[in-house]
């Protein structure tokens, strides 16, 4: 399902994160979306999610870049489960580049307009169960 429209949408959202365009990023979320910041720490609604991304960006000194790896999209009932490799490229204190990969899970909801919006953003995937 590499040509699913959600793949393109998530690529655009990842570009917004990499560009620190958090206003633009918010248009990908439902008003009442939830972002898993870390296990047992959730941001709920666009205000909290925006602040969470600003804090994450600041933590990485604005050097965080996000990109996709493998992706599977499973639609059902006007929702979609996305299972995806999310690559995080960051710079260490000495300027060295570091890449880490997470197996993320996202829930998208199809609005009556036909547009997809992210309702649950859990970049930790099933690793949440390790906590």
Tokens 């804090």, located at residue: 55
Strand partners, 122: 105
Which member of 27, 44, 51, 59 binds a second copy (CB under 8 A)? 44
Q: Nearest CA to 65 among 76, 57, 77, 75? A: 57
Nearest partner of 17 among 48, 62, 61, judged by Cα: 62
Residue 76 touching a second copy (CB under 8 A) = yes
Distance between CA atoms of residues 9 and 83, nearest Å: 14
Region near a second copy per CB under 8 A, out of 10-18, 20-28, 59-67, 73-81? 73-81
- Minimum CB–partner distance for residue 32 and a second copy (Å): 5
Q: Which stretch binds a second copy (CB under 8 A): 2-10, 14-22, 89-97, 117-125?
A: 117-125
Q: How many CB atoms lie within 10 A of CB 49?
A: 23
60 contributes a contact to a second copy by CB under 8 A: no
Residue 99 found at the interface with a second copy (CB under 8 A) = no
- Pairing outcome for strands 65-76 and 41-44: unpaired
Residues lying near a second copy in the complex (CB under 8 A) are found at 30-34, 36, 42, 44, 69-70, 72, 74-81, 83-85, 103-105, 107, 109, 117, 119-122, 125-126, 128-129
């Amino acid at each position: 399902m590499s040509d699913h429209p959600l793949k393109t949408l998530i690529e655009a959202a990842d570009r917004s994160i990499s560009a620190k365009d958090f206003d633009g990023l918010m248009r990908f979320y439902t008003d009442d979306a939830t972002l898993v910041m870390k296990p047992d720490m959730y941001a709920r609604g666009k205000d909290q999610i925006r602040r969470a991304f600003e804090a994450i960006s600041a933590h990485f000194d604005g050097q965080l870049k996000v990109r996709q790896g493998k992706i599977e999209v499973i639609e059902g009932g006007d929702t979609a489960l996305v299972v995806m490799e999310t690559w995080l490229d960051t710079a260490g204190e000495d300027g060295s580049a570091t890449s880490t990969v997470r197996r993320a899970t996202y829930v998208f909801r199809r609005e009556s307009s036909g547009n997809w919006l992210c309702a649950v953003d859990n970049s930790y995937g099933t690793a949440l169960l390790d906590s």
